[in-house]
Amino acid sequence: MIIAIDGPAASGKGTLAKRLAEHFALPHLDTGLLYRAVGRVALDRGLELDDADATAEIAELLDVAELDEARLRGREMGEAASIVAAHPKVRKALLDLQRRFAHQRGGAVLDGRDIGTVIAPGAEVKIFVTAAPEIRARRRHLELEKRGDAPPYEEVLADIRKRDARDAGRTDAPLKPAPDAHVLDTTALDVESAFAAALLLTNRHKD
């Protein structure tokens, strides 16, 4: 069973994907980490994130086993990921890697922005997780506060809106729900309520 979880930044898709993977004992891949890793390597090498060829070369050699999640979190890397993800060459380089993960024996849970539309359009379960920008910004701000890396809330909200526009407006694999995806709005839901709703949707297809 392949479970595809998509949605904009700070919608809660990553938390839901991890919980579902644990519940069904399936491997999980946060595909956003791949783009963050490409951005991280580019910045470490002093390269421009707008350099499509250089970032695509990094993407082609990326090893999932070597992802250092601790270095890939934070506001700066989220912005970097959004920039490099807009390059069609980078997306193409990471496409096969993600598809192999999705179609491994037994299935998998993947979260990102184009899982249900591009990476695994045949996934048995597709959930598009969303929430109001103000709520997502509040969640992200709280997360950054816990890490001691929080700018003013207004800056986080502006960043969320900028990333939404970039992700939805790119020509290659824009952020949008798959035609057969279930849209799960978490604006008024806490983590447990959101998980219960996602689990209900998943079980309908599983059974």
171 is in an annotated binding site: no
User: CA-based Rg of the chain, rounded to a whole angstrom?
Assistant: 16
Residue 180, phi then psi, degrees to nearest 5 = -105, 20
131 is in an annotated binding site: no
120 is in an annotated binding site: no
12 is in an annotated binding site: yes
9 is in an annotated binding site: yes
112 is in an annotated binding site: no
Indicate the Cα dihedral angle 71, 77, 83, 84, nearest 10°.
Answer: 0
Helix, strand, coil shares, percent, the chain, to 5: 55, 10, 30
8 is in an annotated binding site: yes
10 is in an annotated binding site: yes
Which of 11, 206, 10, 14 lies closest to 110, judged by CA? Answer: 14
The pairs formed by 60-68 with CB atoms below 8 angstroms and a separation of 24 or more are 60/93, 62/34, 62/37, 62/38, 62/93, 62/94, 62/97, 64/29, 64/34, 64/97, 64/101, 67/33, 67/34, 67/37
| Residues in binding site | 7-15
Residues annotated in a binding site for ATP: 7-15
